Amino acid sequence: MFQVPATMKAAMLKSPGHIEMEEIQVPKINGNDVLVKVMAVGVCGSDIHYYEHGRIGNYVVEYPMILGHECAGIVVDIGPDVKTLKVGDRVAVEPGVTCGLCEYCKSGRYNLCPKVEFLATPPIDGAFVQYIKHREDFLFKIPDSLSFEEAALIEPYSVGIHAAKRLQIKAGSTVAIMGMGPIGLTAVAAVKAFGVSQIIVTDLEENRLEAAKKLGADIAINVRTLDANQMIKEVTEGKGVDAAFETAGNPKALQSALKALKRGGKLAIIGLPAQAEIGLNIPFISEYEAEIHGIFRYANTYPQGIKFLSSGKSGLKSLITDRYPLEQTQEAMERARTNKAGSLKVVVYPNGYDDH
């Protein structure tokens, strides 16, 4: 039996760029709530953005706030209505809890639920803390063979799975992925699991391109020195790719992703640029009958993600380059913010390091 303390440590964002450790109450649970001891939390680009700027679009941080949403842990207490989980279960946490009642939830597109409460999206606190309360239906059991840090990666991995499903990626197709940050890298592993025949990736950083190749990318293009579209035309015999993902939120990368498509190709817009409007080649879109899909988080991906990662073939664990205890969350954020040429995925361990 787990001894749950009355209070816990939390890494509090007090102002832009400033995190302090605080002692706060462990959440009380009821109904179908589950108390999870947080074992691993990945640092995401959105965490860095809130940490640095205090807002993303309409979501504005109300200080103090707890960041972190890519997480996994152990069930240490359950509410009286919980049916599917028991104390001691190891779980991956899907961070967005939806209403379950609106037209989007009922149609299976619950990522569009207007009432979603998403960890570390203001005003909801996140997982840089020792314990979180979460609803039963957004927790997924993981096998003992899957480490907590790998299970935390199911969250960014889910974005790639969702994009692949939205674009109906099929075995044997060719895919270009622009931007090899954590979302782009996990997307490489996702489309690989869908059986694509050729993966072409682009980035500015050589270490990220090398990481992509380890995950299964066939061709890696450094756009500092090479023309991505010219190379894509060459390797696809002038046709272009079946599908392109833009994951970096970079206007030039988005325009390049569109231009990389073959006739009838599909574009997934995953990255969020700083500006709201970007010019796209409308005659190209029309003539090529290009399909453009906006991608917002994911829905119904966690069981598939757990299955893929549990196979041991994804290689995603190789992305984890930096590990920090909860007390060094500020250092973890700074590492992720400033070391893009060296760090791939930074992970925080709120209850001590445990790779199992």
The reply to whether domains 7-141+315-349 and 159-294 share a CATH topology is no
Q: Which fold has domain 159-294?
A: Rossmann fold (3.40.50)
Q: What is the pLDDT of residue 142?
A: 98
pLDDT at 56: 86
Per-residue pLDDT 10s for the chain (356 aa) are 689 999 999 999 999 999 999 999 999 999 999 999 999 999 998 999 999 999 888 899 999 999 999 999 999 999 999 999 999 999 999 999 999 999 999 999 999 999 999 999 999 999 999 999 999 999 999 999 999 999 999 999 999 999 999 999 999 999 999 999 999 999 999 999 999 999 999 999 999 999 999 999 999 999 999 999 999 999 999 999 999 999 999 999 999 999 999 999 999 999 988 888 999 999 999 999 999 999 999 999 999 999 999 988 788 999 999 999 999 999 999 999 999 888 999 999 999 986 55
239 residue type, one letter? K
Report the distance separating Cα 256 and Cα 227, nearest Å: 10
Q: At a CB cut-off of 8 Å and minimum separation 6, what does 325 contact? A: 348, 349, 352, 353
What are the residue boundaries of the structural domains of the chain, listed by start? Answer: 7-141+315-349, 159-294
Q: Give the global pTM.
A: 0.95
Q: Which of 162, 237, 176 is nearest to 212 (CA)?
A: 176
d(CA 102, CA 112): 10
Residue with tokens 């179908």: 32
CA 200/CA 242 separation, integer angstroms = 11
Classified by CATH at the fold level, domain 7-141+315-349 comes out as: Quinone Oxidoreductase; Chain A, domain 1 (3.90.180)
Determine the pLDDT at residue 341. Answer: 83
The token pair that represents 179 in the structure block: 């931007």
